[in-house]
Structure 1
């Protein structure tokens, strides 16, 4: 895989982090603008997650039927136009609807980038490429809140969505000019009417589903953190909105560094080996976070340490879960990628909504949700190991 393709795939994968993280510092400002509270503004984040979950189910079959490029170009164009609509939002309801449409477009990049990696790489090299993509897209959660805080302070919250529209336009040009079609030309075109059958077969694949859900619940913990951290950092502990990105970015940096370590680790034992071990570290970190949150410390730093460990663990969990789930999917890679992303972001939307619903003015709701995600991620990891052992033993 060439560096140019890797950079384009990284940019496409960054649609989600950019569109989510860049506007996080504006939550209190949006609440004031629309005369509501931060909990209501969080619904725009949940709407984005729901759009990601639904849209990916559509793009998967389209990518298997028409190739990777055409659905991708249409999705990126939709993201660009929806970003402009968000910038013009006269009400919170308009913004929520715009965010939903924005997600429907942005998820094309996420689905197709995973399918392209599967088209070009074997499972071990896929894990390495996914880890490298974490480095490219990992810059987004480091830089996006910083840029969002700066734009908020200097130009106001609509400028955040104008910048997202410009990013979408640049990606549209990059895909049109430099991303080749990677679906094999001699591959039989997957009929759209068979999409439901493909998803049904994927749901019946115990190993695929187990990897998808184990990774999905781990990732949901991160999105619970995304949804709850603006209140905890800015409102609860008084961190200035323009400084929010530094704290958010420090956690993202841990995620990126561990993802690069993972690229070295998988060459020795493979993605499955490290996935089953990292999930234990994730759960223990989540437990430490819960214990600290229940103590309600007067300072923020005791919460930041276990939060950092939780997010850093995802640098191993995310690429290895994706690579393990996508292994062996062949010509249904688009549908497999779509269902993988849809499950992950559907769970993420539920986790973000649960943080808002449990809101009690402390950090405990966030900690409880992340701990629950850790328990479920470990549970599906253990179930998947049992499925693999039965398959190796030749038992159904």
Structure 2
């Protein structure tokens, strides 16, 4: 597939372009950059109990740092998307990852939960560049929706490897050393991203395609996107998919560690299992979009997720307000894990198809459209985190019960299905 990409010579000031096929390593690099978000979310989940003790705070306060992280990602994406349409893709990526690295170092040294929360917010603003811009790069390079969905599936595979390793690393760190090492590792990851973008990433947005808009016009563009049926329907599906996933992310660590008696390392292994299934689904999607309509694939995937959420919700209500009576892999916990897999795995199909569906008709403002899509995802993720925190604080839902998580995941799954009829009819 021939595309226009700018060479390293052009980055150095020589003004010409070449026709080239997309190099095999480019999706790997974009996936590695996008993984800044998942690694920063997932790596410290096993550390929640240790952070409560170290920072002399409550579990709900530590859980709230996830919502703070999501809010910062939402705000940052609204800014960095238009900036990438104005200044190109590389410069905002470099600045964003540098901010992320510095703020992560502050998190590592934070003396209290207030300092930690503030540093996490700043880190999320920086990390938002790596969530928006790689998707816009895909849209720059691959205008066809099916081919874009295949390339996004490859990104999901790469960025999915990091969430498998991240919680395992976090579990090992918490077991043997301080949780603070986790954030020193995050700082190093950010610096590595700066180096890779500087040395390897080509500029995918040509100078003549860059947008120069005043703030009022930018606001009008956001409203225009929200008024576009194809964008809004797919962006909402993607956002509710994030609501589902973040309900799991926020609640899983206390449930399995405090409620079910898992060690941090055992929980990280389980977390890796979920990530493997989501990556597997994304790779199946890469093969399916070559043969089937992405809209039909999206319908089937969301239906499977709803079925899994119903089973999960039934198991959680059957357990009532108490976790499993026997720590370890009792039959009820195995069944619960199976239902979670059935609910979560389809998100590996839903995310690439919904994201590319939202961007399909907006090639000229791919950065802005990607930013608004990502903002909606993380706003919904923040709402999910707040909902889980509020439910977990209720007397009947405390003590490690999976009921708050199951409710949040079911809400996300059913909302996705309700958004399906909003999509425009494709001929």
Normalising TM by the smaller chain, what interval?
over 0.9
The within-5 A match list for 1:179-194 is: 179-193=201-215, 194=217
**1:214-250 CA distances to partner (integer Å, 9 max, x unpaired)?**
1210221111100000011100000001221111110
Q: Would the alpha carbon gap of residues 192 and 334 (structure 1) be closer, same or farther in structure 2, given more than 3 Å must change?
A: farther
CA 85–188 in structure 1, closer or farther in 2 if over 3 Å, else same: closer
Which residue of structure 2 aligns with residue 370 of structure 1? Answer: 409
2:302 corresponds to which residue?
Answer: 279
1:382 and 2:421 aligned: yes
Check whether the contact 1:8–1:171 (CA below 8 A) recurs between aligned residues.
Answer: no
Aligned-partner Cα distance in 1 for 2:210–2:405: 46
Query: What secondary structure does 1:269 align onto?
Result: coil
Q: Is the 8 A contact 1:124 1:266 kept in 2?
A: yes
2:239 partner SS: helix
- 1:124 corresponds, among 120, 141, 146, to 146
**2:13 alignment partner in structure 1:** none
Q: Return the alpha-carbon distance in structure 2 between the equivalents of residues 302 and 66 of structure 1.
A: 50
2:348 to 290, 308, 315: 315
Correspondence list, 1:152-301, <5 A: 152-193=174-215, 194-296=217-319, 297-298=324-325, 299=330, 300-301=333-334
**CA shift at 1:188, angstroms?**
4.7
Structure 2 residue runs without a partner (length 5+) = 1-21
Deviation at 1:329, TM superposition (A): 0.6
- CA distance in 1 between counterparts of 2:421 and 2:305 reads 14
Equivalenced residues, count: 388
C-alpha distance in 2 between matches for 1:283 and 1:188 = 41
Deviations 1:49-87 (A, max 9, x none): 001111000001101111111111110110000100100
Map 1:47-58 to 2 at 5 A: 47-58=68-79
1:330 Cα deviation from its structure 2 partner:
1.4
* The structure with more radius of gyration: 2
Contact 1:145 1:249 in 2 (8 A): yes
Moved over 4 A (4+): none
Per-residue deviation, residues 98-135 of structure 1 (Å, max 9, x unmatched): 11111100110110000000000121111001111111
Distance 2:412 2:111 in 1: 36
Structure 1 residues not aligned, in runs of 5+: none
State the partner residue of 1:342.
375
How many angstroms does 1:37 deviate by?
A: 2.2
* C-alpha distance 233-153 of structure 1, shift in aligned 2 (>3 A): same
User: How do 1:14-163 and structure 2 match up within 5 A?
Assistant: 14-121=35-142, 122-163=144-185
Residues 282, 374 of structure 1: 8 Å contact kept: yes
Q: 1:83 & 1:197 partners in 2: Cα distance? A: 34
Q: How many Å separate the matches in 2 of 1:303 and 1:358?
A: 19
Shift of 1:292: 0.5
Equivalent residue, structure 1, for 2:3: none
Q: Distance in 2 between matches of 1:108 and 1:96?
A: 20
Give, in whole Å, the separation in 2 of the partners of 1:208 and 1:191: 21
Structure 1 range deviating more: 294-303 or 29-38: 294-303
Q: Cα deviation per residue 1:158-213 (whole Å; 9 max; x = unaligned)? A: 10000001011111000001101111232253324321121011011011011000
Q: As a proportion of its length, which structure holds more helix?
A: 1
> Pairwise CA RMSD of aligned residues?
1.2
Separation in 2, partners of 1:60, 1:70: 12
